[in-house]
Chain A
Amino acid sequence: MPDTLHAYRHVSGIYFPIAIGVFAAVVLALSSLLVAGARRRERPSGRSGAHRFELFYVLALGAVATFLVVVTFRAETPIDRTVASPGLRIKVTAAQWSWRFEYPGGVSVAAVSTWQPPVAEVPTGVEVEFAGSSRDVIHGFWVPQLHFQRQLLPGYVTRFDLRFDTAGHYGGECSVFCGEQHSQMHFAIEAVSPNAFQAWFSRQRSRLGGTA
């Protein structure tokens, strides 16, 4: 299940406390060494190593690194995987400096103007497969609320799955600097219930039929 939000929260819930703990421990050790060293009147120590302690310390560092890698690998495997039969496939095309989302059956969503970025509707609770590519330079498909981004390359299709568990408005940005109007490359994803999505999708299709 490509639940990027859950993966991010799970991993950061382990990494950040460890980082803060290590920082606090080093600062504490450093402060006590500084206080002791500032008070010291006798000759400085001549000791230049403590091999047994160093060996133990290396093993401890190795254990921490191993633990972190295991946590990361376990969280990464499901979010890197694409499922065989997603609930919806959307083709994303990025170009300087806008986005275009193409649904099955010829439905597509594109920017009206810089001030009206495209809003792509998706159903909640299912895997949505995005097949993204770029028409010019590298762009970055980034949904900050999902803590997920993937780069879109020219002449190559990058596939990834996302899952929107809660309905709502998800802002999107281009994360990879892509030239003068990079800052204007917004998009949005509107996650709605599967029924509402079906209704929206049928409306779009009939509108398509009307103009054809």
Chain B
Amino acid sequence: MSTTALPVRAAPLRALAGTDHKRVARNAGAVAFVFFLAGGVLALIMRSQLAADGGVVSQNTYNQLFTMHGSTMIYLFVVPLALAAGLYFVPLQVGAAEVAGPRLALAGLWLLVAGGVSMWSGFLTSGGAASASWWGFDPLSDSIHSPGSGMELWIFGVMMVTAGQILWAGCILLTALRRRAPGMTLMRMPVFTWSMVVTCLLTVFAFPALIVALCLLWAQRHFGGVLTGGLGAVDYQQLFWFYGHPVVYVMFFPFVGMVGEIVATFSGRRFFGYNAFIVALLCFAGLSMTVWAHHMFTMGQATNKYFSLTSTALVVPAGIEYLDLLATLWGGRLRFTTAFLFALGFIVQFLVGGLTGIILASPPLDYGLNMSYFVVAHFHYTIFAGSAFGLFGGIYYWFPKLTGRMLGERLGKAHFWLMVIGTNLTFFPMFILGTDGMTRRIASYPASTGWQTLNVLETVGAGVIALSVLVFLVNVLVSLRSSEHAGDDPWGAQTLEWATSSPPPRHNFHTLPPIRSYAPLLDLRDARERAMP
């Protein structure tokens, strides 16, 4: 009998107050996915506006739309979903019966819900939702330039979800460090678990800076005198980007980890270069705490060359990760499942985002491209064409573990190809428009610019993405209604979460296999094959 479980009997209460990490994570994932759909609707309205060349919404509404789109996707979708995946699978992958700090994990879920509702309720206030962009930069976000309760609700909402994310990171980190099964040494933890460890380190170190920045902003709004003068604006940005760049990697590492697991499983071989990959992840995380002011090159208030140097140095750990992902395919016997296709989509498309990131890390280029659609294209290639593809790969891969049901492969592949077409149609033209001088965060552009054709094309792409997400939702509904059970390990996978039932029991395992490497189930299969010549 666990001492941490609440004595809750009624099912609805258990859904709200149960502390099983799997239930908390599943609920958090579902909440984050609802926010993804909501943020996507905002994107579709913006795309309609840009395709129709104005007239759909006013400039003021458009400002609320892009602010809430960015805020929703980052604070309420990608980061919480990445951490929810860790909350679900890290205890399973290290052979733990329970997450460390289950009540804190539950608190994180409620902070996500409360914060998200707070941010979105701005739309119900007379002044509308926050409209100072997802950065909430002072002085634009102060009480003179952004009066009204929309901004206040945004500040409190972001603080709440961020606090919840720090709690989750603490729980996951402690689970990996203190709750590992016998035999599960640090250097036998699966690639995904390691990716979550570095993610949580970043979260714990960097996210408090955002809460501090928002406290200062709140004090500035109500009392003044905190962020004053031109350098007050710089202070806010230093604090914000000290969070705002590590968060980019919080939205990247977990998906690299997922893709690593998927690639190894569907190549039927051991992950290549495990040690180098882990060291690269740790270096990557350390280095990524030193690059934040590359967002401030055009302010002339940071040491541009230093931040350019550290940002460019990211080439080294990123290059190692790419080598290991590709080399895992080498000598593999491949199975082209939907999960594997999404992983390949991640590898190819994230690369576009990564390479353009190196371009933006050069100040002479950033002076010309910052704040343009080139930047918008760059980070959508990392977060959407990269991380969201990794995420869907993870969903197709782990759905049988979560639910005991397989997602349909036929619908899955339709989802994948539609999403590839939609993504590239939407985001690639933005590189061209950005280099041509199209500024972001503007509701309509003069016809003389000649950008209309590509804008219409992008909007068509956004529609294709929406269609692909609908196909995914249909796939989920069809699968949940099917009665066919997936079994414990439908993929022939390698890590411990596949050594228990689907879904796993309350305390995760009845028995554990011996753990002698980072791929214990592969070891078992190899030993069995050797025993039967």
> Which A residues form the contact surface with B (CB < 8 A)?
4, 7-8, 10-12, 15-16, 19, 22-23, 26-27, 29-30, 33-34, 36-38, 40-50, 54, 57-58, 61-62, 64-65, 68-69, 71-73, 75-76, 79-80, 96, 133-134, 136-138, 140, 142, 144-151, 153-156, 158, 160, 171, 173-183
Contact A144 B442 (CB under 8 A): no
Q: How far is the CA of A180 from the CA of B359 in the complex (A)?
A: 31
Task: State A71–B363 Cα separation when bound (angstroms).
Answer: 11
> Min CB distance, B442 to chain A, in Å?
4
Tell me the complex Cα distance, A64–B374, Å.
23
When C-beta atoms are compared, the residue in chain B nearest to A146 turns out to be B368
Chain A positions within 8 Å of B178 at CB level: none
Residues of B within 8 Å of A79, CB to CB, are 364, 367
Q: A residues within 8 A CB of B444?
A: 183
Interface residues of B in 511-533 (CB under 8 A from A): 526
- 25 A-B pairs within 8 Å (CB atoms) are namely A23-B355, A26-B322, A46-B269, A49-B275, A61-B319, A71-B362, A76-B308, A76-B362, A134-B230, A136-B145, A137-B139, A140-B298, A144-B368, A144-B436, A147-B368, A147-B369, A149-B370, A151-B298, A154-B139, A156-B230, A158-B300, A160-B300, A175-B370, A177-B441, A183-B439
What is the size category of the interface that chain B forms with chain A? 35 or more
Find out whether the CB atom of B359 lies under 8 angstroms from the CB atom of A19: yes
Task: Please give me the 10 A-B residue pairs with the lowest Cβ-Cβ distance, nearest first.
Answer: A156-B230, A45-B331, A147-B368, A144-B437, A153-B230, A37-B334, A155-B229, A44-B269, A175-B371, A183-B442
B371 touching A176, Cβ below 8 Å: yes
| 16 more A-B residue pairs beyond the given contacts A34-B329, A150-B298, A177-B371, with a C-beta to C-beta distance below 8 A | A19-B355, A19-B358, A26-B322, A30-B347, A40-B332, A40-B334, A68-B358, A75-B362, A76-B308, A137-B137, A149-B298, A149-B368, A173-B439, A177-B140, A182-B442, A183-B59
Q: Is the interface of B mostly helix, strand, loop or mixed?
A: helix
Contacts of B370 in A (CB 8 A): 149, 175
- What's the Cα separation between A71 and B351 when bound, in Å? 22
A48 to B139 alpha-carbon distance, docked (Å)? 53
Q: A8-B367, A142-B439 are in contact. Are A49 and B274 (CB under 8 A)?
A: yes
Interface presence of B233 (CB below 8 A): yes
- Cα-based distance from A86 to B423 in the complex (angstroms): 47
Q: Is B337 an interface residue (CB 8 A)?
A: no
The segment out of B182-190, B310-318, B495-503 that lies at the interface is B310-318
Q: Which residues of B contact A (CB under 8 A)?
A: 59-60, 63, 131, 133, 137, 139-140, 144-145, 228-231, 233-234, 267-276, 298-301, 304-305, 308-309, 312-313, 315-316, 319-320, 322-323, 326-327, 329-334, 336, 344, 347-348, 351-352, 355-356, 358-359, 361-365, 367-372, 436-437, 439-445, 526
Chain A residues with Cβ below 8 Å from B313 are: 65
